[in-house]
Amino acid sequence: MNDVAIAADALVVADQRHLIHPLHHPKDHANARIFVEGRGAMLRTSDGREFIDGLSCLWNVNIGHGRKELADAAQAQMATLAYASAYAGFSNEPAIRLAERIIGLAYDNMAAAYFTTGGAESNESAFKFARYYWKRMGKPNKVKIISRQYGYHGVTLAAMSATSLPGYHKMFGPLVPEFLQVAPPYAYRWPGNGDAGIGAADAVEEAILGQGADTIAAVIAEPVMGAGGVIVPPPTYFPRLRQICDRHDVLLIADEVITGFGRTGRWFAMGHWGVEPDLVSFAKGVTSGYLPLGGVMASKRVHQAIEDAPPDEKFMHAATYSGHPTCCAVGLANIDIIEKEGLVERSAVQGRRFLEGLETLRSLSAVGDVRGLGMMAAVELVEDKGSRKPAIGLGPRVVAEAATRGLIMRQRGGGGTPVSGDSLCLAPPLMTPEATLDRIVQIVGESIEAAS
Ligand SMILES: Cc1ncc(COP(=O)(O)O)c(C=O)c1O
């Protein structure tokens, strides 16, 4: 063994001994892949292998790996003012400029942004914005949050309670009270012949009426459900959901942690359906993962409630790293790249082409559904196309086959409510070259055939 191999082996052993990972199980780390370098849509591991980053790591490296401009922005900001408090009475230029910039890119009704350090914290904050808003409006009992089955909103305690993928609950229950879940707009598995968009929006209204509208603060929804298996809603869903929220005085929180910053071919995704939410959670793509940052955008009416508050009702929500100057400077450099390189438009155009490529896999007997929007897509595996009987357990084998062919992707395990097949999830960086996108389609096809 050469020195490099010995060093890599020692790292694997130290990893097993001392590092607890997200979604940790020791068997996954018997031979962990240790990433050492990223360039564009490619990742290199400590054993010298190259992989296509088929999921932009965790749906977040939108501009691709290795952009020196972001390192330069961090270096320049750290050398000047690495950190300063943004608490009451204090501020800093990168945070101010990034908030202004993001509001300019988002929905017309948005007014101001609060910064966090990631997606779960953004959603925790959004729930508190919603409760705060209703207390300010004199409706203190509006506290409940409705989410959808298959939704993923992070795994801190309240975010986990909105997340509706049972694997995340089993060892950490009970859930926080006042969170409830309804049917998702999952067209491929919607029972009967009705429109899943209408039916799933009406399921939200039923829940509001069942609980009493005077108890519901907000509905939280990913515009396209990501970790749940890239579930793209029918076009009827969000316009109807918006009407239902308005009818019952319920806020609509768009969880755009994945879909923000160009992933679906728009800066923010609700625009696909002409809908404006009241609150927007974002993270991931705001810095393309180069530094941890997230946030919540508040619409004019929610912002006004904060601005008009008497001192004894001030917005007592906070975090040390809210408005972190270095993270915000990196966010600004990231948005510069997305704009200059036309990555939002590219995501729309290349995403369509990528989806067309994946559609050819429908000829395989194990492929039940192919869906996507912009640069996020899924291939759902079935045992039987006619009955749509889910294939469960095939996904991990396909993912392993893909890795041997040089592609990293993830699968969402089947089962759940409603029951589904394993779904292969793909979300490459927005800049991924055409030839690499074609290669992804080829590898996914070969891997399904090899694993079936
Ligand atoms: C839609 C959505 N919301 C929230 C989160 C949680 O973000 P984080 O892992 O940064 O807490 C994720 C993470 O994948 C996500 O996909």
DSSP assignment string, 74-85: HHHHHHHHS---
Q: Is the pLDDT of residue 1 over 80?
A: no
The model's pTM:
0.98
Residue of minimum CA distance from atom 4 in ligand 1: 153
pLDDT recorded at residue 11: 87
The rounded distance, in Å, linking the Cα atoms of 61 and 287 is: 8
Residue of minimum CA distance from atom 16 in ligand 1: 258
Expressed in angstroms and rounded, the spacing between residue 4 Cα and the centre of ligand 1 is 35
The rounded distance, in Å, linking the Cα atoms of 100 and 304 is: 16
The position carrying tokens 């409630």 is 305
The rounded distance, in Å, linking the Cα atoms of 148 and 203 is: 10
pLDDT recorded at residue 346: 98
The mean pLDDT value for 173-199 works out to 96
- Residue 349: band (very low, low, confident or very high) from pLDDT cuts 50, 70, 90: very high
Which two structure tokens, joined as six digits, stand for 218?
Answer: 């907000």
Expressed in angstroms and rounded, the spacing between residue 62 Cα and the centre of ligand 1 is 15
- pLDDT over 90 for what percent of the chain? 93
Expressed in angstroms and rounded, the spacing between residue 120 Cα and the centre of ligand 1 is 6
Mutate to test the pocket of ligand 1, among 153, 290, 373 (most ligand atoms within 8 A of CB): 153
- State which ligand 1 atom lies nearest to the alpha carbon of 256: 1
- State which ligand 1 atom lies nearest to the alpha carbon of 151: 1
> Is the separation of the CB atoms in 113 and 107 below 8 Å?
no
> Is the separation of the CB atoms in 324 and 138 below 8 Å?
no
- Residue 305: band (very low, low, confident or very high) from pLDDT cuts 50, 70, 90: very high
3-state secondary structure of 153: coil
What are the pocket residues of ligand 1 if the criterion is a CB atom closer than 6 Å to any ligand atom?
A: 58, 118-120, 123, 152-154, 222, 226-227, 255, 257-258, 283
Expressed in angstroms and rounded, the spacing between residue 59 Cα and the centre of ligand 1 is 9
Residue of minimum CA distance from atom 7 in ligand 1: 119
Mutate to test the pocket of ligand 1, among 121, 122, 257 (most ligand atoms within 8 A of CB): 257
The mean pLDDT value for 216-231 works out to 98
The mean pLDDT value for 305-323 works out to 98
Which two structure tokens, joined as six digits, stand for 421?
Answer: 């097949």
Q: Is the pLDDT of residue 374 over 70?
A: yes
- Residue 23: band (very low, low, confident or very high) from pLDDT cuts 50, 70, 90: very high
3-state secondary structure of 120: helix
The rounded distance, in Å, linking the Cα atoms of 257 and 237 is: 20
The rounded distance, in Å, linking the Cα atoms of 65 and 38 is: 5
pLDDT recorded at residue 218: 99
Using the CB atoms, write b or e for 113-132: b if 16+ within 10 Å.
bbbbbbbbbbbbbbbbbbbb
- State which ligand 1 atom lies nearest to the alpha carbon of 22: 9
Residue of minimum CA distance from atom 3 in ligand 1: 153
Mutate to test the pocket of ligand 1, among 152, 163, 164, 287 (most ligand atoms within 8 A of CB): 152
Expressed in angstroms and rounded, the spacing between residue 117 Cα and the centre of ligand 1 is 11
Q: Is the pLDDT of residue 333 over 90?
A: yes
Using the CB atoms, write b or e for 167-184: b if 16+ within 10 Å.
ebeeeeeebeebbbbbbb
- State which ligand 1 atom lies nearest to the alpha carbon of 156: 11
The mean pLDDT value for 118-142 works out to 98
- State which ligand 1 atom lies nearest to the alpha carbon of 284: 10
pLDDT recorded at residue 420: 86
Check residue 23 and report its DSSP letter: T
- Residue 5: band (very low, low, confident or very high) from pLDDT cuts 50, 70, 90: low
Which two structure tokens, joined as six digits, stand for 128?
Answer: 């508190």
Expressed in angstroms and rounded, the spacing between residue 365 Cα and the centre of ligand 1 is 32
Mutate to test the pocket of ligand 1, among 145, 161, 258 (most ligand atoms within 8 A of CB): 258
pLDDT digits (tens, 9 = 90+) for 58-95: 999 999 999 999 999 999 999 999 999 999 999 999 99
Compute the mean pLDDT over every residue in the chain, rounded to the nearest whole number: 96
Expressed in angstroms and rounded, the spacing between residue 119 Cα and the centre of ligand 1 is 4
pLDDT recorded at residue 344: 98
Mutate to test the pocket of ligand 1, among 165, 284, 327 (most ligand atoms within 8 A of CB): 284
Q: Is the pLDDT of residue 380 over 80?
A: yes
pLDDT recorded at residue 286: 99
